[in-house]
Structure 1
Amino acid sequence: MTENVHVISAAMVPFGKHRSSSYVGLAVPPLIDALRGAGVEKADVDAVYVGHSYGGMMTGQRICKEIGLGGVPTVNVDNACSSGATAVHEAWSAIAQGLVEVAVVIGVEKLTQFGGGTLPLSPEDREVKQGIVMPAVYAMRANRYLYETEATPEDLALVSVKARRHGALNPFAQFRTEVSVEEVLGARPVADPLTLLMCCPTGDGAAVVVLASERARARLGISSSMRVAASVLHSGRVSEGFRDMTYPEISAHSAHDAYEAAGIGPEDLDMIELHDAFSIAELVYYEAFGLAERGRGIDLIRDGRTTFGGDVVVNPSGGLLAKGHPVGASGVAQIAEAFWQLTGNAGDRQIDDARWAMTHVTGGGTAGLDHGACTVHLFEAA
């Protein structure tokens, strides 16, 4: 693969509870905005990739027909929470191989269709049959981390406080009010030690990015973009028996491979959008990404090193905890945030002189795998 690939436009709708909207209704406005933002006509689009988990058959085709976009390959991607990011990976791969020059990636999900509660999981999974749900998985991870390290529930609360502070600056975030440590700890218990404010909300949303080859970028006269420096997709390893829940191997391996591909290290990053579905996740990902030693992720959150003015800004968008987590849309929304940051268009949450960004999202879990899927992207301001 020799073709440079660029993200040349991004758009999204505010995440939240859009009960009266359909998948098509959620996705069409940002699709139009992203195409207009790039100056791309329908005739310029060579392929469309659509990430979703619960949209049903031909979600992408149903969306694209509303704007008269047809006749090109439209690929629907389901990879659980990593669906949108996987769709971006597929678009990047096609352009890097010279198969297409301009690709549109849509991430969309409508979780309010389920009425509330935890996400439905595969009934064939033996752990699901025993009653496992995602809040319980992360609660077990949190309890083990608290047991093995010096971390306290207050550290978990600090992650949520930071997320809400960042989300308050983001007009696309589902939650835009700040909270205190005391409010987080005093919120309704969900799965000990996690409280409601340590868990991402249920919601709906859509995000769209446009990717282009170097040639197409020049042809379209795009002067502001970000280069895809690495795109890594891994599925989980078969791993029966004991699992170290404090060390997400799939994320560590994916990040390592991305660093190798881009020729940089964690010290070079200016921002990270990571999969903080529950507050404990951010602490363990600090360590998996090489930002901190094992057991010392707490130092970063306690010392303010992962917020504005720190070493690296983690989840400037507010992350899943504040921005929301409509699963198929989340990975694309992360990349939209990176695009706005690296092109200087992030408004009140702009990171000074941002050059390098990482996005990371994991998808699903099933008995016998260390995780379902993990997608890591590295981007450089162009």
Structure 2
Amino acid sequence: MRDVSMVGVGQVPVGEHWDMSLRQLALGAIQAAQADAGIEQVDAVIVANALGGNLSGQNHLGALIAEYAGLPGVEAYRVEAADASGGVALRQGYLAVASGAADTVLVVGVEKATDRTGTERDTSLATVLDADFEAARGATPAGVAALLMQRYMYEYGVTLDQFEAFSVNAHANGALNPFAMYRNKLRPGAFAKAPVLAAPVNLFDSAPEGDGAAAVILTTTERALDAVPRPVRVRGSAMATDTLALHNRADLLFLRAVNLAAGRAYEQAGVRPGDVDMAELHDSYTILSALQLEAAGFAARGEGWKRAQEDGIGREGSLPVSTFGGLKARGNPLGATGVYQAVEIALQLRRVAGDNQVPNARLGLALSIGGIGSTAVAHILERVE
């Protein structure tokens, strides 16, 4: 297996891009990554997208985006794993370069989530759940997350306001990020008073869907060292799955897929959780943040929420998370989210994160989740001197 590094990153702001199509959003991120890397031609294009067919009426995104980006004839295809699609696409790009199947790969995540509202959007989002046993009975991702949160609060005696620090931190970081959808700060004490979406999940507990696109260019580390001054090495990459339906899990309060993916990535990288300087969690709901910290080895069972309060998850804390706002404040562009995470960690490791910079970060972990923990992808990224 060849060593793989990122040589170019690009992103567009997450928001409500009424005047831009999927292809236009993708092109903005692709051109930014190409300019960053000083590379125009690639061997393959991998597109991450979750709900293009449902929300944009557009499938077959590989050919569409390759053509629009001026890359005729290139190998191109779309990958889908709900909102873990971006993480999966990054892994596929990594594997293509590591195996020698390609020398340079462009990974782009793109989503248009705001053109549909109300029931139409909720129905589309529910397709990430079990269609026969969850969605057909009216379940939504927010509703299933609410069941998970209720159980956690009951089992461990946690109150809703004790999850507040995750969202306060995300908004504090998002306020500094020019690419974030929501740049407002969240006042302490306001979290538990927000309008309820699906009790106990409320408006400040749930990440908003947005339109966006992010891209990275991968090549061998040997080539990367000659191409750019600050490549970012993919030191570990792994993926795992769990049951699609929540009720089929042997342990509701343990994200088995996250545990497996993170464990495999640690083993590949030869590191432990304590070696990680920062983590981008998939904070679509704060309950998932707490459970990811537990499953990935950063906190004991039932104590993931404490990590946010006691040790600190801010940029100068013991484990900075959501350093550009996470899904909660940057916005959740669904299938593109995992690529945004990679871009954000790369900026941190290059030490070009501006006001969002984590001091002296050398090793970052990106956790991308599909559904309510049904798919998990873990990447460990390293600063290359």
TM class, shorter-chain normalised? over 0.9
Deviates more, 1:108-117 or 1:167-176: 108-117
SS where residue 109 of structure 2 aligns? strand
Match of 1:21 in 2: 20
In 2, the alpha carbon distance for the partners of 1:307 and 1:238 equals: 32
Match of 1:48 in 2: 45
In 1, the alpha carbon distance for the partners of 2:64 and 2:184 equals: 35
In 2, the alpha carbon distance for the partners of 1:94 and 1:215 equals: 16
Gaps of 5+ in 1: 366-370
- Match of residue 223, structure 2, among 192, 196, 216: 216
CA contact (8 A) 1:155 1:301 kept: no
Match of 2:55 in 1: none
Amino acid at match of 2:30: L
* CA apart distance, 1:22: 0.6
In 2, the alpha carbon distance for the partners of 1:249 and 1:140 equals: 17
CA contact (8 A) 1:108 1:328 kept: yes
Q: Deviations over 1:202-249 (max 9, x none)?
A: 211000001011233245x22201110111112225887454322111
Gaps of 5+ in 2: 53-57
What is the correspondence of 1:82-101 to structure 2 with a 5 Å cutoff? 82-101=84-103
- Match of residue 155, structure 1, among 152, 162, 167: 162
In 1, the alpha carbon distance for the partners of 2:67 and 2:154 equals: 53
* CA apart distance, 1:332: 0.2
In 2, the alpha carbon distance for the partners of 1:179 and 1:96 equals: 42
* CA apart distance, 1:184: 1.8
* Corresponding position: 1:234 with 2:221: no
* Overall identity of the aligned pairs, in %: 34
* Corresponding position: 1:287 with 2:294: yes
In 2, the alpha carbon distance for the partners of 1:281 and 1:362 equals: 9
In 2, the alpha carbon distance for the partners of 1:102 and 1:200 equals: 33
SS where residue 283 of structure 1 aligns? helix
Match of 1:351 in 2: 358
SS where residue 182 of structure 1 aligns? coil
* Corresponding position: 1:265 with 2:236: no
CA contact (8 A) 2:126 2:141 kept: no
Match of 1:275 in 2: 282
SS where residue 302 of structure 2 aligns? coil
- Match of residue 121, structure 1, among 123, 126, 147: 126
CA contact (8 A) 2:244 2:374 kept: no
Deviates more, 1:207-216 or 1:260-269: 207-216
Alpha carbon RMSD of aligned pairs, Å?
1.7
Q: Deviations over 1:296-353 (max 9, x none)?
A: 1232111252112211101101111111111111000000001000001111010111
Deviates more, 1:337-346 or 1:62-71: 62-71
In 2, the alpha carbon distance for the partners of 1:242 and 1:27 equals: 36
Match of 1:138 in 2: 145
SS where residue 120 of structure 1 aligns? helix
Q: Is the alpha carbon distance of 1:134 and 1:347 closer, same or farther for their aligned partners in structure 2, counting shifts above 3 Å?
A: same
Q: Deviations over 1:253-275 (max 9, x none)?
A: 11111111100011011110111
Match of 1:368 in 2: none
* CA apart distance, 1:372: 3.1
CA contact (8 A) 1:7 1:209 kept: yes
